[in-house]
Chain A
Amino acid sequence: MRSGFDVIIIGGGVVGCAIARELSRYRLKIGLLEKNLDVGYETSGRNTGVCHGGFAYDVGTWKAKLCLEGNRIMGDVARELSFPFKRCGKVLVGNTQEDYNRLLEVIRQGEAIGVTGLSMIDDAELHRLIPGVVGNFAMLSETSGILDPFQMTIALAENAVQNGASFFFGQEVTGIRREGDAYVITTPKETFVTRWVVNSAGLSCGKISDMLGLTGYRVIYSKDDYILLDQRLGREVSMPIYTVPSNTYMGIHVTVTTDGNLLLGPTAQDTEDNAYYGVEQKNLDFLYKAAMDIWPHFTKGDYIRTYSGILPKWADEEGRIQDFKMEIVDDVAPRAVNLVGIESPGLTASVAIARHVIGMMREREAFPERADFNPVRKGIRRFAEMTAEEQAEAIRENPDYGELICRCQKVTRAEILQAIHNPLGVSTVTGVKYRTRAMMGRCQGGYCQMRITRMLEEERGLAPQEITYAREGSQMLYGLVREEAHHVEA
């Protein structure tokens, strides 16, 4: 039994990690339980990585308000925590009079929310911004941007750990009960005792809400399939390209990532299964066609990966999607923060959500501030992003920067070592991947994965059969081929 926690956060998505980070400003014993082996493994790591402007949500909703606030502070947060973020703007392209009117409506709605930097641009301006785009005009949102969702989630988590929070992986919450003033939270591995509990379980928010006695929420799921394209193409697209949104679907986007890949998606389909991430052929076909309509400068030969993500949405009886639910119901579950239906724009809004939620907690209890809170987290310095002079200097200081492990993303041994010895203690292969970009390029680890699994064995003292790709049980190797083989230096 692990006791004495002031706060246990259930769920290591971007919102849970943001809450952990913002709570670590106070003198509290904080724990975060995550059922996967790393943070950001579900909804937070499986999306477009767009930092939304906030114009797409109904006036007066939390989605609108917290997205706007999250967008406003994103630059500062990214600087403090060293994750990639670029306020590059985005366009919604249109062709017909109907599109034009709809976009004017979007601008009116955005301005009512308080979004700035929205304007209509003509054909010439649109093609000056993105030469290859198909469209007659567009709405430009200057405050929109792109960020790396893995890096953001990891950065928040690492900064929380730096400031004293503890993260526990492979811990799926199976029960919550109250004993006096405490909550006793059980997982198949351990029991945690805490005064406060936060439900930021994302796709499992309904289940955890029920465990807290806050029943009656209907959570539905929407699945998005995506295609990731070669980095070469990203150079030609300066900002995300969206189509004119309908009331229910934001439409297909051609998005550029902070790493310069192009991303086609999403597909937005209702699904019953909130844990099935399989990509469907018909969706890939749809994405190809739909993306060709707005940016016809790629081929199937540019594909490097497909993936999907699932969003949890709180819906009413008629299936109408509701706002973010953020509540503390004192008479049913005191000191329990319940978050339901945190979907898009949850990534943009995450830090704003965290601050709002902590405000709700502090209305009920005074949290003493820590004098030694350090808001700055330094990430892994990327060789690929250094100038030639910086590269030479980095190799002089640490020769591991002179040994390239992942060729296509130019990731060095020094970076892989830092990722293997990450502050969260994650030891999966995807843990290295999301922290360094190794294996994310066009050969998808064809050149470097053997080196990386060997480094994981050596550095973490793992047997070959203990090397885990991503989820628990995702075993990569079945042991040695021969017991006393003398392996060739590869």
Chain B
Amino acid sequence: MSKLDVLIVGGGPAGLAAAVRLYEAGIRDILIVEREKTLGGILRQCIHDGFGLTRFGESLSGPEYARRFIERVKELGIPYLTDAAVTEITPERAVTVVTREGLMVYHPRAVALTMGCRERTRGALAIPGERPAGVYTAGVAQAYINLYNRMPAREVIILGSGDIGMIMARRLTLEGAHVQAVYEVLPYPSGLPRNVLQCLDDYDIPLYLSHTVTCIHGDRRLEGVTISRVDEKLRPIPGTEEYHSCDTLILSVGLIPENELSLNAGVELDPHTKGADVDEHYQTSVPGVFAAGNVLHVHDLVDFVSQEAEALALAVGRYLTEEGFAEGTREIACGRGVRYTVPQRITGKEEFTLSLRVAAPMKDVTIVVRQGDAVIGKKKMKKALPAEMIRMKVSPVEGDGELEVRVDD
């Protein structure tokens, strides 16, 4: 067993930012464990720009954004392993790492879970029909084109207007495929407005809202899909079926925090975020195990992933050094119009950043955080979209009033 202060599971944007900030805070006995050959996580395949606007005030590609952190990690000499897979984390924080050199068990004082997320698949959606080749998640198609130089598509239909789906609509078009349309089951786009503009509108790719794929056809390569309109409860409307011929169906239908290792460690998850239930220090239900980034809740901007991971790093630093480091147990209720919050609970003793998503698109609203009768946080918004994560500073007051976040008109 090797002892360590902090083991960071995953060398993507969250893990890298956490490592750098930990090091800068004086916590040096750390190790990043990355399963890929190189650091950077999913950013390696995100060659489009738009990263870093918040953090660096300039528009970077994914690899450029990652490089800024990777270079810092190398400059500081922060230890990391690549081609190294964490296969198990126990509730006692014994972490098993498998590499070609062998199997190692670490026993760090703290574990930072920064594994990111995975894509929802056709199987998870249970789309009826056959199972031909040619049905890919957007991330798989992106990896094939950008990392593997392999062309997976020619005549394309995209289901889901998530950001990667729209970005892949543009990418596939640029590489010579024909993208017929993007269909979205919701009555509004799932991804960011800028991607609707820059990835679909600019390329004359139509976006059809309130539509879904109701059957997949072909037993070899995909031959076509049936598209149906859906009602307000998202149920397909009989009689609206239309057959569209295509050889590729790209799915951009949601991301799920990758929490198998967390569950293994006994971490409790929030059914809404599918990530860990944490306090404002990003500490999970298992003491000494922290989580941030897409493994905690799916972000729309990497800049916020980095920020969140840095906040985690500072909290881990305090956990390692402060006597009686408090655990947040006071729950924050999701009131009217709020889908989820992170953190889900707080100590009530310090100011914190609240992340939340609204349940539906809204205009001219105010996000209000109450503690009993007191308003402890407030944010006015001209437009609130589920696709855009809302972050705000909240300062709890003395007293044990119930905490609630809601959307007021």
Contacts and interface: CB of A to CB of B under 8 A. Distances in A.
Interface residues of A, number: 62
Contacts of A473: 220-221
A279 B132 CA distance: 12
B263 A232 contact: yes
Q: Is the interface of B mostly helix, strand, loop or mixed?
A: mixed
B89 to A, nearest CB: 14
A306 B126 contact: yes
B136 to A, nearest CB: 9
B28 interface: no
B149 A490 contact: no
A488 B147 contact: yes
B214 A281 contact: yes
Contacts of A399: 100-101
Interface in A437-484: 442-447, 449-450, 453-454, 464, 468-482
Given A304-B124, A471-B220, A446 B103 contact: no
Contact of A304 (B38, B103, B121): B121
A416 B132 CA distance: 22
A301 interface: yes
Contacts of A217: none
A392 B105 CA distance: 11
Interface string B260-300: 10010000000000000000000000000000000000000
Nearest to A410: B87
B5 interface: no
B129 A402 contact: no
Nearest to A447: B118
B147 A490 contact: yes
A81 B173 CA distance: 50
A488 B44 contact: yes
A31 to B, nearest CB: 26
Contacts of A388: 96, 103, 105
B318 interface: no
B247 to A, nearest CB: 9
A298 interface: no
A402 B132 contact: no
A286 B221 CA distance: 29
Interface string A108-140: 000000000000000000000000000000000
Interface in B178-226: 214-217, 219-221
Nearest to B37: A489
A450 B147 contact: yes
B314 interface: no
B85 interface: yes
19 contacts: A232-B263, A276-B130, A277-B130, A277-B131, A280-B128, A306-B123, A306-B128, A399-B100, A402-B99, A444-B123, A446-B137, A450-B140, A450-B143, A469-B133, A473-B221, A477-B150, A481-B149, A488-B38, A488-B147
